[in-house]
Every structure is written in structure tokens, then in C-alpha cells.
Chain A
Amino acid sequence: MLRNIGAVGAALGLVGASFGAIAVSAGQPAWVPLVMSLAVFAGGAQFATLDIVLGGGGAVAAVAAGLVLNARLLVYGLTVADVLALRRPARLLGSHLLVDQAVAFARAEQDPARRRAAYFVSGGVLFVTWNAGTLLGALAGRAVGDADALGLDAAEPMVLLALVLPALREAGPRRAAAAGVAVALAAAPFLPSGVPVLLALLGLPLALWKTPVPAGGAVSAGKATEAAPGRGTELRAGLSESSKHSESSKFSESSKLSGPSKLSGPSKLSDSSKLSEPSKLSGPSVGEPR
């Protein structure tokens, strides 16, 4: 786990460096990206807010965009609330470390102590590398060069996808995620950034539908759904065929819906073709145990 945390930390350090470099290259003093990385510590919102400020969009719009992007943190906070059920100073400090990646690391663990360790170690490491990266990027400025030419923009989605892959082994969450991704991508061209990701939660009912949520045994033992590996394999064997089927029909449906409404023709088509990404990815892992 520590090696994975180190790798994610290094990757986000690079993204932080590109954030610092972009801000300074655009003419901002070095303290702007630095204070932002320390006080906000949320990559997507920082990029979005900086973008609007640089574009002259106004402070209110910039803050609003950042907060909409960060609204998902509220849900994450509920997910890992048990990890932060500590005395006040630790809870107040620990809450600042709440980011996508720390949540992903924490929920990969079932034992309460390990959950907490995963959360605090990954959150702490990410806080350090994100800010160190921002500092280096701000100091190096233009010398960093074009972050896009280095492919650094692929690092953030890659980190998130790799972290969420294990959770996609379960049929219920996988269905919900596939539908949510479809909704988010269909909404992305039309709604302000951050809103499409929240709309993905509309796919949530599919996680419960037809899936016997272990309301008894595993959960009453104080564990989350992932805590039932044995049951998971049974489900996988039984449901993988039917769930794959329902997913693919859902995809074609949503791509039909979103296809014609998209404005800029051919480039947009790729969206719907890529919609199947998560399900394709989870496919082989589903078959693995058999």
C-alpha cells in the first residue's frame, strides 16, 4: 500500500508542478498557486478557479465554480466519516486531507485501524507532494515547459481510475458507475464543470436494483459492502452475464440519446464510444476468478 501511495503522491506532485507553472506563466505572483495549494488542496477546483480568474470571469464565478466541483467532498466526507471520528483537533486537521485519492485508499481497507492509517498516510503524503510540486512548479515557471506535451494531464484521470478499479469488481456499484459515467459525459458539454460529476449520482439506484445488498450479515458486522468477498464471488458468477448485458444495452441507449444532441459532430462521437470504458475494463477482472 505504501508503494502505491508513494506512486500516487509522485504523480500528483507532477500535476501540482504543472499547476504552479501554469499560474506563474500566466503572470500570477508565486504566492498565488502556493497559498491555493495549501489552503484549498483540491486539484480540479484549483485549476477551474484559476482558469476563471485568469480569464477575467470574476471572483464570484470563480469561487462558485470551485465549490461546485468540490461538492462531492461532502459525500466523500460521509463515506469516510468513521475514519475521522476522532477528538476535535485530529478531526479538524484530518478533514483538510479529504481528497478523492485518500478516500479511495481508505475504502480499499476493511479493518478500521488500517482504514484510518491508509487515509491519514495517503492524505498526508498527497498534501506534501502536492504542495512541494506546486512550489517547484511556481519557482521553475516557464522552465517546466508545456505540461500537456509531457502528457501530465493524463495522470490525474489515470490515478483516479486505477484507484477505483477494485471497487468495480462488484456488479451493483459497477452498474451504477457505468450509468453515472454515461450521464456525466452526456451532460458535460452543456453544464458548468462539476455539475456533470454530481449528476452521475443519478446512476446510484442501479447499485441497489436487483442486487441483494447484504443488509444482514456482512454489514451488521460493521463492514461495508466490499467486506464480503465470498458473497462477491457468488454474485459475480451469477450476475456477470446479465449485468454485462444490461450495461451494454444501457450504453447504446445513452449514446443514442446523447449522440444527436451533441453540437460539434465527429469529435463528440468519441465520447459515446468511450462510454464503455469502465465496463470494458472491469470485464476481464470479473472473469479472472473463474
Chain B
Amino acid sequence: MTILWTILALAAGTYLLRLCGPLLHSRFEPSGRVRAVLSASATVLLCAMAAVSALTAGHGFAGWARPAGVLVGAALALRKVSFLIVVVAAAATTAILRLLGVS
């Protein structure tokens, strides 16, 4: 049963984190400058998430296959290829590299 309480505690905490922004917003209207900073911080966080999840596994390097797949997908994304193809190409590249023995 601990697992249920673990899940519920994580869910409650996560929901509160989500709710903070919208609740604060009803108290004060952020200025243009604050909004620009928030927009930039979302960009920074999204990039950091992408980089960390592409390159690391736990505390170590994720291996070459995953970042190589992401790199192929990113090259396609820059050429305005459709999203689904981008994601499939990334996964396929990673899968093929692993099949060839590249971790």
C-alpha cells in the first residue's frame, strides 16, 4: 500500500506546483518585462530538458545511439519536415544504431 501513498503524494505535490502559476496570476498582472523573462525561462527549461534527456541516463552518458537519433530528427525538423516523421526518424535511427551494436 505504500506505493499508493507514494503515488498520491507525488500527484498532490505535482498538482500544487501546476496550480501556483495560475493562482498567482489572479493576484497580479505580470508586466511585459516579467513576461519576456518567463517566456525565456520556458525556452531555457525546455532546452535543458531536451538536452539532459537526450544525453544522460542517470548520472552518466546515455550512449551514442539516443543523441544521434535526436540529431537526425533535429536536422529534419529544421527542414520543416512533418512532426511525426521527425519523431519516427529519431526513434528509428536510435533503434537501428542499437541493432548495429552501437549502444
A-side residues, CB < 8 A to B, are 3-4, 6-8, 10-11, 14, 28, 32, 35-36, 39-42, 44-45, 49, 53, 59, 62-63, 66-67, 70-82, 84-85, 91-92, 94-96, 98, 100, 103-104, 107, 148-165, 167-168, 172-173, 176-178, 180-181, 183-185, 188-190, 193, 196-198, 200-201, 203-204, 207-208, 213-215, 219-220, 224-226, 264, 267-268, 270-271, 274, 277-278, 281, 284-285
Q: How far apart sit A215 and B33, CA to CA, in the bound complex (Å)?
A: 6
A35, A151, A176, A224: which contacts B7 (Cβ < 8 A)?
A35
B101 in the interface, Cβ–Cβ < 8 Å? no
Taking a contact as CB atoms under 8 Å apart, the answer to whether B53 and A44 are in contact is: yes
> Is there an interface contact between B47 and A78, defined as CB atoms closer than 8 Å?
no
Q: Please, which residues of chain A bring their CB within 8 A of the CB of B47? A: 160-161, 164, 168, 177-178, 180-181, 200, 278
A98–B18 touching, CB < 8 Å: yes
A67 lies within 8 A of B44 (CB): no
Instruction: Select from chain A the residue with minimum beta-carbon distance to B67.
Output: A274
Min CB gap B102→A, angstroms? 11
Chain B residues packing against A (C-beta within 8 Å) = 2-11, 13-15, 17-22, 24-26, 30, 32-33, 35-56, 58-62, 64-67, 69-71, 73-75, 77-78, 82-84, 86-87, 90-96, 98-99
Instruction: Please determine whether A151 and B14 come into contact, CB atoms closer than 8 angstroms.
Output: no
Given known pairs A70-B14, A72-B45, A81-B21, the reply for A190 and B59 (CB within 8 Å) is yes
Contact A62 to B36, CB < 8 A, known contacts A7-B87, A103-B42, A173-B44: no
Q: Please name the residue on chain A nearest to B33 by beta carbon.
A: A215
- Complex Cα distance, B93 from A156, in Å, reads 14
> Is B91 a contact partner of A201 (Cβ separation < 8 A)?
no
Asked if A63 contacts B52 (CB within 8 A), the reply is no
Check B51–A184 contact: CB distance below 8 A: yes
Q: A149-B98, A158-B86, A184-B48 are in contact. Are A75 and B60 (CB under 8 A)?
A: no
- By a CB distance below 8 angstroms, the chain A residues around B64 are 270
* Docked pose: A173 CA to B78 CA in angstroms: 18
A274 x B39 contact (CB < 8 A): no
Question: SS class of chain B's interface: helix, strand, loop or mixed?
Answer: helix
> Which chain A positions have C-beta within 8 A of B58?
193
Q: Is the interface of A mostly helix, strand, loop or mixed?
A: helix
Rounded to whole Å, the gap between the CB of B23 and the closest CB of chain A is 8
In the bound complex, CA of A285 to CA of B78 (Å): 7
Which residues of chain B are near A4, meaning CB under 8 Å? 82-83
Cβ contacts under 8 Å, A82 to chain B: 25
A75 near B42 with CB under 8 A, answer: yes
Which residue from A152, A165, A213, A268 sits with its C-beta under 8 Å from B74?
A165
Q: Mind listing 30 A-B residue pairs with CB under 8 Å? A: A3-B83, A8-B83, A14-B91, A66-B14, A67-B17, A70-B13, A77-B22, A77-B24, A78-B30, A78-B38, A84-B22, A84-B25, A85-B26, A96-B15, A151-B65, A151-B91, A155-B90, A158-B74, A159-B87, A161-B54, A162-B87, A176-B43, A178-B47, A197-B48, A197-B49, A224-B39, A267-B61, A270-B64, A271-B55, A274-B67
Contact A188/B90 with A79-B38, A81-B24, A219-B33 known, Cβ cut-off 8 Å: no
Inside 8 A of A149's CB, which chain B residues have their CB? Answer: 95, 98-99
